[in-house]
Homo-oligomer: A and B are copies of this chain.
Amino acid sequence: MDGSCYSPLVREPLGEERARQLAGTLKAVAEPVRLRLLSLIASRADGEACVCELTGAFEVSDATISHHLKVLREAGLIERERRGTWLYYRVRPEALRTIAGALMPAEDGAVPA
């Protein structure tokens, strides 16, 4: 259901179905709070964070954070694990790599001036 190996969209025209899938995943990422949540979780030394460590960093309500985490989770971008009272979230690097790879214009990392 996820298509973990997209070829870059510059190589050949994207099919209708794949475009819908990719757009769905991208929509999950294309929101400021969700981007910061992803970044906040991913940039931790141990790669994980519990909800209580996340809610404080934003000006939106806990319910909204919970909603955004759900969106990210349903898009396959993060996963969670319960340890006692707390839930710990972790980023799924393959998912990030998939969308980054689909957008990357060329394999060689050369950046033109």
Contacts and interface: CB of A to CB of B under 8 A. Distances in A.
| Identical copies of this chain, number | 2
Interface residues of A, number: 41
A69 interface: no
Contacts of A101: 100
Nearest to A35: B19
A38 interface: yes
A64 interface: no
B93 A29 contact: no
Contacts of A112: 93-94
Interface of A: 9-14, 16, 19-20, 22-23, 26-27, 29-36, 38-40, 42-43, 57, 91, 93-94, 96-97, 99-101, 103-106, 111-112
